[in-house]
Structure 1
C-alpha cells in the first residue's frame, strides 16, 4: 500500500469530502511517478504511450516502477521518471488526462484533462509581493488544524532550503492583522520555492480565500529572535546527500522533458 493508494482510498470513501480530494492531488503532485513511453527517449524529447477513452487521450503513469513493469508485461519498459507536479505542468493545455496505476493497484483511476489543467494551474499560482511595517508579533491564534497539518506536510519536503520556520500572528502599521510564516536561514535562491510551498499548503488545506504572509530572515537578527519567542516552530529536515540524476528524462529537474 503506497501513499497514493491511501490518499486515493480516503478520497474514494466519501465523494463529498473535498479535503480528502485535495489531499489526493497534493500527494500526487509531490510523488515521483513513472510515465510509460512508446519508445526510448530521444535526448530530452519523449513520446508517451497513450490510449483513448470516450474521445479523451490519457498517458499512463504509475507510482512504482514495479507496477509499471507489471502493466507492461516485461521487466524493462521505456519510461520517464518525474514528479507529479512536473507531469501536470508538462501536460497542461494538451487536452490529455492521466491514467494512474491502471489494472495494477487499488488507486487505479482516470484523471481527466480538466483536472490535470486545474492541478497545473493551482501549482503554478504566483504569490503576490507586498510590503508593510510590522508593529506587533503575537502567537498564532485561530488557525484551523487543516492548515497546520498542510504546512507540516509541505515543510517536510523542503529539506535544506532553510534552517527553521516560525508561524506567528502579525499586526502591520495601519492596523492590518494576519499571520506570517517566517523562514530563518533561507539559502540563496530558495525564497521562491519556499513561498510557493506555503501557497500550495494554503490551497491543499481547503481554506477558502486563505492568506498567509511569508518572510525570509537571517538567523540572529532582532526580528527573527522576536519571532522565535512567540511563534510556532517548524523544523525543516536535514537534507540527504544528493543522488546523481539518472539518464531518464525528468530525473534532472533542470532539464524537464518535452513532448513529441
Structure 2
C-alpha cells in the first residue's frame, strides 16, 4: 500500500474523524502523482491533461503508482509525474476536479474543484519567522490525544526528509519573558534545507486536525548546549537515513525537471 492508500483506508474506517480526512489531503499533496495526458509533452515541456466530462463536472485523472495508470489505460499511456500540490495549484480556479486511482484501487476518490481550491489555499500558508531567547527546556507537556494526532503527521513528513537531519527533538520550552510552548528541534540540518523543513512541519501541524495548534521549529548542531539538554529531556524522533540505491537511481519523469518546469494547458 502507498502512504495515500493507508491514509484513505484509515479515513474509510472512521469517516467522521476530521484528522483522518485531513491526512488524506496531506498525503496527496506530498505524493508524486502520474497525471494522464492527452499526448506526450512537447518540446516546450507543455503538458495537456486529458479531461473527462462527467455528470458531476470535468475531471482530470492521476494515479499514485505508474502501474495503476497503466492498468487504467490497459497499457502504456502518456503521463507527467508531478507532486499532488503542483497539480492542485494548476487546477485551482479552472473548475476542473481531480480523480485519484479511479477504477484501479480501493483508494479511488474524486476531488471536486472546490476541494482543490481549499487545498491550494491551505498549502500557501507559511510559517512566521521569529526570534526568542529560550531560558529552559522540559519534556513535552502534551496530552496523549494530542500526541496521537501530531506524531503520525510528523512521521509522514519525515519520510521525505531522509538525510536532512539526524533526528528531531520534541520538547517543552520556556522563553525570556515567561512565554511557554513547545519546540521541534532538528539536529544537523544544512542551511539550504531549513526553510523547506519548517514549511513541511507547518503543514504537518495544519493537517494534523489540531485546532489553534502552535509549534516552534528550530535547527541546532549536535554540539549545541541546547541540543544536549533536549536530548536528555525531549521526545526523540528519528528520521530515515538515505538509501544509497535510491540516491544513485533517481528517475526524473516528465514535468519533474526543476530547470524545465511544466506548463499545464
Same fold (TM over 0.5): yes
CA contact (8 A) 1:245 1:252 kept: no
CA contact (8 A) 2:256 2:262 kept: no
Structure-2 separation of matches of 1:129 and 1:255? 30
Per-residue deviation, residues 65-100 of structure 1 (Å, max 9, x unmatched): 222122213x22110112222322332333321111
CA contact (8 A) 1:92 1:116 kept: yes
Paired position in structure 1 for 2:26: 26
Structure-2 separation of matches of 1:147 and 1:97? 29
Of residues 174-183 and 9-18 in structure 1, the stretch that sits farther from structure 2 once superposed is 9-18
Paired position in structure 2 for 1:257: 262
Query: Structure 1: any 5+ residue segments left out of the alignment?
Result: none
Matched, 1:216 2:232: no
| Alignment of structure 1 residues 57-96 onto 2, 5 Å | 57-73=58-74, 75-96=75-96
Q: By how many angstroms is 1:172 displaced?
A: 0.9
Per-residue deviation, residues 23-73 of structure 1 (Å, max 9, x unmatched): 211222222211000011013210000112347321110122222122213
CA contact (8 A) 1:249 1:256 kept: no
| Alignment of structure 1 residues 93-242 onto 2, 5 Å | 93-143=93-143, 144=146, 145-241=148-244, 242=247
Query: Structure 2: any 5+ residue segments left out of the alignment?
Result: none
Structure-2 separation of matches of 1:104 and 1:142? 41
Structure-1 separation of matches of 2:259 and 2:114? 27
Paired position in structure 1 for 2:51: 50
Q: Which runs of 4+ in 1 moved over 6 A?
A: none
CA contact (8 A) 1:168 1:179 kept: yes
Structure-1 separation of matches of 2:155 and 2:4? 18
Q: By how many angstroms is 1:247 displaced?
A: 5.4
Cα 1:157–1:188 change in 2 (3 A) is: same
**TM-score under structure 2 normalisation?**
0.90
The RMSD of aligned alpha carbons is: 2.0
Query: Any idea what SS the aligned residue of 2:217 has?
Result: strand
Cα 1:123–1:23 change in 2 (3 A) is: same
**TM-score under structure 1 normalisation?**
0.91
Per-residue deviation, residues 136-194 of structure 1 (Å, max 9, x unmatched): 11110124121122222322321011222111101111111100001111112001111
Q: By how many angstroms is 1:244 displaced?
A: 5.3
CA contact (8 A) 1:246 1:252 kept: no
Structure-2 separation of matches of 1:38 and 1:56? 18
CA contact (8 A) 1:140 1:168 kept: yes
CA contact (8 A) 1:180 1:215 kept: yes
CA contact (8 A) 1:7 1:20 kept: yes
CA contact (8 A) 2:185 2:218 kept: yes
